[in-house]
Amino acid sequence: MATIITDECINCGVCEPECPNEAIDDGTKGGVDIYWIDSDLCTECVGFHGEEACQEVCPVDCCIPDEDKKETE
């Protein structure tokens, strides 16, 4: 499954450079940076890491599995 970033995100940006698929990006919405994960690019780090890189570095644990988008090996 893909990963999503919840509203608890504090926009610290530590997750973006950690993503091996470059699936994490920030956008501007009303002048506020909002980090998001492109579900078409996210592979939950399968083949790269034992755990998802974004989850490992997130200080507020807002990178969670998207139950609607299952990832397979």
d(CA 5, CA 61): 9
Examine residue 70 and state whether it is found in any structural domain, yes or no: no
The pTM score is 0.81
Examine residue 71 and state whether it is found in any structural domain, yes or no: no
User: CB-hemisphere CA count at 13 Å for 13?
Assistant: 4
Instruction: Please give the residue range of the domain that contains residue 55.
Output: 3-65
**How would you write the pLDDT of the chain (73 residues) with one tens digit per residue?**
789 999 899 989 999 999 999 999 886 655 567 788 988 899 888 877 778 999 999 999 999 988 887 666 5
d(CA 14, CA 23): 13
Examine residue 24 and state whether it is found in any structural domain, yes or no: yes
Examine residue 10 and state whether it is found in any structural domain, yes or no: yes
Which CATH number do you get for residue 30? 3.30.70.20
Examine residue 61 and state whether it is found in any structural domain, yes or no: yes
